[in-house]
Amino acid sequence: MFKRTAVLALVSLALVFSPAGLSTASAQTKTLTPKTLTRPPGEAMRAEYTIKALDFYLEGKNYGFNVSCHPLSAGSNCPFDSNVRPARDLLLAVGSKFKVIGSKCDFTVFEPAQLKNGFVFKSFVGRQSLTTSADKAKLELRSSPAAGSTSVKFVFHGWAESLNTAEYRLESIVLEGPAGRDWKEAIR
């Protein structure tokens, strides 16, 4: 029995190391090589485009992507800062640092225009920041665009008690659109 097992093992090894065995192994290697993936006809390649919010505003304001502030009480201080800063974010603020009365404001950002040429909204990055305590001032996001929408409308609401300020920094937005295009085609 031992001789028979040893003979079978030697025959197996001979087949593996024979030219026929090696060519079989190389044929298997070729079948494991990945193939280039192709898309069905008519289905375009898509890509994500991350745009700094200030860049989107500066380009978009010429095509109907407006930013507006709506003071909700007399004397409200509701600045919108579109100055170019290294971070290239869009700064919204509500405050009354030098006033005896407080402020209430609503901001509507990037409306009424819609994205074009196959581009849709995907996501955004923004953050609320306080210059005082949370119970004295707040500027919060009330609504944002839905993923997959051609709208990029944001609505913010803020308030600040006397001598307090709150800010919201809209940092960037992400659009999805046809690959290999300029993101500016989304707004023109």
Give the amino acid at 81: D
State whether residue 126 is helix, strand or coil. Answer: strand
Burial class for 165, CB neighbours closer than 10 Å (0-12, 13-18, 19+): buried
pLDDT at residue 97 in the model: 61
Average pLDDT score over residue span 61-87? 79
Is the pTM higher than 0.75? The answer reads no
pLDDT, greater one: 9 or 89 = 89
Q: How many residues does the chain have?
A: 188
3 state DSSP class of 109: strand
Per-residue confidence band for 137, with pLDDT thresholds at 50, 70 and 90: confident
Domain ranges of the chain: 2-31, 46-186
Is the pLDDT at 114 greater than 80? The verdict is yes
Tell me: pLDDT of 59 over 70: yes
* Residue 83, pLDDT score: 66
